[in-house]
Amino acid sequence: MSTFEDLVAEGEAVPTEGWDFSWFAGRATEERPSWGYAKLLADRMSKAEAALDIQTGGGEVLASVPLAPSVLAATESWPPNLEIARRNLAKFHAHVVEVADSDDLPFPTDQFDLVVSRHPVCTRWDEVCRVLRPNGMYLSQDVGAGSVRELTDFMMGPQPVHPSRSPIVAVAGAEAAGLDVMDLRQEALRMEFYDIAAVVHFLRKVIWIVPGFTVDTYRDRLVELHEFIERHGPFVAYSQRFLIKARKKA
């Protein structure tokens, strides 16, 4: 059986670039939203003429679609992900550009008939509306307020839930920018962590769950969580997700 130190070292050694979670197989699980974002994305991409994926990560989800429009662009803010995204999306001849999450989008007005985003850090609704053509569609799957708060609270103590990530705020922002919200769904999804290596890698990769996380800073809490998992089985948390589909007014 691996020791605490062995598991922590393993969790620290896994690269965090890209948005591929295959390493977690057998070590952690997360329910998938019932709406199937990848399937919805593939359907929309197959019908689009010009599409933009905002905050694409390593482009892994976008690269999974079987058919992409002839004009395809993507943005990403984290430099290590840019080259990964360019490799993943090269088969579509996608134009991948570095853009800070809250910055203006470097594209002409009314350029795209489809704009998508999976787990955006923030959404510039004014910019989404600007680059969409009239009647163009926006589709995103967002991380909701209080996502994985069970793990956050265990590591940091009880923390406030930030309402800025709520579906209500998203709808208000979309409508204020000039979009009609056509569909809104939300779900809480069970997550299970089977060892402390999975926790360490997750907190290194999903950096907003415990801001500023390092093993040294949180070693005492990690030891306690390791002992809990050893005695009682997987640590359970719940991710919050919501889907929003909106259309630019004609």
Domain definitions of the chain by residue range: 4-248
Which DSSP state fits 31? P
Tokens of residue 136, six digits: 């163009």
Q: Nearest-5° angle of CA 4, CA 196, CA 36?
A: 165
What does the pLDDT look like over 104-145, one tens digit per residue? Answer: 999 999 999 999 999 999 999 999 999 999 999 999 999 999
pLDDT at 25 over 90: yes
User: DSSP code of 66?
Assistant: S
Q: What is the helix (H) or strand (E) element at residue 80, kind and residue range?
A: helix 79-89
Q: Can you name the CATH fold of 4-248?
A: Rossmann fold (3.40.50)
Instruction: Give pLDDT tens digits for 184-227.
Output: 999 999 999 999 999 999 999 999 999 999 999 999 999 999 99
